[in-house]
Amino acid sequence: MDPAKVVIVGGGHNGLVTAFYLARAGMRVEVLEARNNVGGAVATEELIPGFRFSTCAFRLWGLRKPVIEDMRLADRVTVRKPEAVLRLYPEDRSLRQWSDLSRTAAELESFSPGSSARLLDWSMFWEQAGSLYEPFVLREPPSEKELRERSVEIGEPGLYDVLRTTNMVSLVQDHFSDEAVQGAYIAAPADPRQPGSPLETAWASIPLEEDWAGLPVGGMGALSSAMAAAAVESGAVIKTESPVKRILVDDEGLAVGVELQDGSCLDSDIVVSNLSPRATYTRLVDSGALDPQFLKRVNGILSTIGYLKFHAGLREPMDLSRYLGPDYDPNAASYMRITRSISHYVSAWEDSAAGRPARDPVIQLGTHSVLDPASAPPGGHAVSALVAFAPPELEEGTWDDIRTSAAESVIDRITEYVPNFREALVDYVMFTPTDLENRLGMLQGDIHHGDHLPGQFFIGRPFPGSGGWRSPISGLYLCGAGTHPGGEVSGSPGYNCAAAILSDRCQ
C-alpha cells in the first residue's frame, strides 16, 4: 500500500511539528502556508529598516522536551535567557525577579520589607500546580477524575479543585500584602477575579526546559526555520505563498484534499488544519458538510482576549538609570513588565471588556537587541511590547480608525517609565487584533485560537464533544493551538495531533 498522502493547511510552528512526525513515520506530507515565511505567530521580520523583531511571540518558555529532542532543535537554535524580569514602578522603584528564588527573596525584602515571608509557599504552590498538569500535556486531555487522582498522587488532594474554584486575586492577596508586590505576582489570561483563573497560571507553571526559556538568536523565526528544516529532512515538502481556499469533502463526508486560492486542487488521504477550530470549520469547510448543532458549538468558542503588539526601533538604549543607577548592566533591560497593582491589572481588563483599549495597559517589554545585538543597527535597539488588553472588537469604530491614537498612547505610557523612549524612537509598528487576523488568519486576533479560560481547557478544548484533534469529517484533523493543551509556543498540539493520526491509522 502507498504511504498516506497528507496535506497540512498552514505552516505555523504546530503545523511544522505535525509535518515532521508524520513525514518521519513515512507519510507523504505537503505543508501549504499562505504567507511567504513559515512559523505563523513564531516569526522574525525586519519591520523597520535595520531592525528585526519577533513579530508576535517573543518569549519562549513552553517548548516540550520530546519536540526539542526529536527535531534536533539544539543543533539548530541557540536560546539566550534574560537574566531577570525587571518590574518597573512609578517613583523610580523597581524589582527584579530572578530564576534563583533566594536572590528574588533578598530583592523583595529590600523593596518591601516582610514581603518575602510567603514567597517560598507561593513558589511551591505553583511548582505543584505545574506538576499536576505535566503528565497530561503530550497526550489525550485528562478527565476531571484523572486530575483529581493526580492531585492525590502529588500529595495535594484538593489542588485541582482549588485551581478550578478560587481566583488569582485571592491567591495573590493570600501570599502578599504590599500593593506593588501583588502587582508583580498577579497574572491571568483575562479577569483575575474570575473563578478558575489560576488554571492558566498552572499551565504556565509546567516545568521548563531551562535552556529553552528565553529568546532564540535570530528571533523566534529562527525556531520556525529550524522546525521547517527538521520537517524537510524527514521528507516533508513545504510550500509558502500557497493560501488554501477550502477543504474538499466528498459526498460520503470524507476529506479528500484542498482547493488553493489560485483554483488548483490537491488530493490527499488526510487533511490537517493548523488554523483555529473556528477558522477551519467556518472558513475552510463547506457548512453543508457539518451538523448545524456542531457549527453552533464552533461559533460559541470564546475569543474575547486581545492584545496590541508594538515594536519600536530606538537609536539609543532605553534609559533605566533612574531605577538601576548610572552604571547598570544593559542585560537588565532585556525583559521588563509594568503592572503596578491588582487594581491596575483589573482596570486594564475592564476597559477591554467594555470594548476599548486599556487606557492604562499592563505591558511586557523586551529589548531583544540586548540578547541578540544583530537585531538592531550599531548603537540602536529593537524593543517589542505586548500590551494588555485590547478588545477583538471595539465598542465604537474600527481598529484602523484608532490605530495612531492607540499607538501614541502606548508610547506615552512607556515613556512615563522610560524617560528617553519617545525621543529615542526611529520608528514604530503596531499590530492590532484586526491586523493579526489579516496577517495570520488568526480570527479576532486570538493569540491562542480560543481563549485560555476555565471551560476551554482539557476536554473543553476547543469545546466538549468536539473531538479535539479529530473532527466530525473523516480524514480531517486539527493541529493548532485551539486543541489540547492550547496556545503558546510549545509544539504540543502539533505533537498530539500527529500521535492521534498515527494511532488512528494503526486501527
Ligand X SMILES: Cc1cc2nc3c(=O)[nH]c(=O)nc-3n(C[C@H](O)[C@H](O)[C@H](O)COP(=O)(O)OP(=O)(O)OC[C@H]3O[C@@H](n4cnc5c(N)ncnc54)[C@H](O)[C@@H]3O)c2cc1C
Q: Which residues bind ligand X (CB under 6 A)?
A: 9-15, 32-35, 40-42, 56-59, 61-62, 243-244, 274-275, 307, 309, 386, 436, 440-442, 447-448, 480-481, 487-489, 493
Compute CA distances 161 → 144, 154, 347, whole Å.
9, 14, 27
Q: What angle do CA 123, 126, 131 make, to 5 degrees?
A: 125
The 8-class DSSP code of residue 141 comes to P
Determine the residue type at 8: I
- Cell 552604571, residue? 327
Query: Residue 215 corresponds to which cell in the numbers above?
Result: 529568546
Alpha helices by DSSP H, listed for 339-472, are 342-353, 368-371, 399-417, 421-424, 433-440
How far apart are CB 183 and ligand X at their closest, in Å?
A: 20
Residue 13 vs 148, nearer CB to ligand X: 13
Residue 112 vs 224, nearer CB to ligand X: 224
CA–CA distance, 303 with 445 (Å, rounded to integer): 8
How far apart are CB 440 and ligand X at their closest, in Å?
A: 5
How far apart are CB 290 and ligand X at their closest, in Å?
A: 18
How far apart are CB 14 and ligand X at their closest, in Å?
A: 3
How far apart are CB 439 and ligand X at their closest, in Å?
A: 7
User: In the Cβ-directed half-sphere of 494, how many Cα atoms lie within 13 Å?
Assistant: 31
Residue 55 vs 116, nearer CB to ligand X: 55
How far apart are CB 409 and ligand X at their closest, in Å?
A: 18
Closest residue to ligand X: CB criterion? 12
Are 9 and 196 in contact, with CB atoms under 8 Å apart?
Answer: no
Residue 189 vs 487, nearer CB to ligand X: 487
Query: Residue 9 corresponds to which cell in the numbers above?
Result: 493547511
Residue 115 vs 375, nearer CB to ligand X: 375
- Cell 493520526, residue? 501
3 state SS of 364 = strand
Residues in the chain, total? 507
How far apart are CB 35 and ligand X at their closest, in Å?
A: 5
Q: What angle do CA 413, 348, 45 make, to 5 degrees?
A: 60
Phi and psi for 401 in degrees, rounded to 5?
Answer: -65, -40
Determine the residue type at 295: L
Residue 144 vs 211, nearer CB to ligand X: 211
How far apart are CB 335 and ligand X at their closest, in Å?
A: 10
What residues have CB less than 8 Å from 506, skipping those under 6 apart? Answer: none
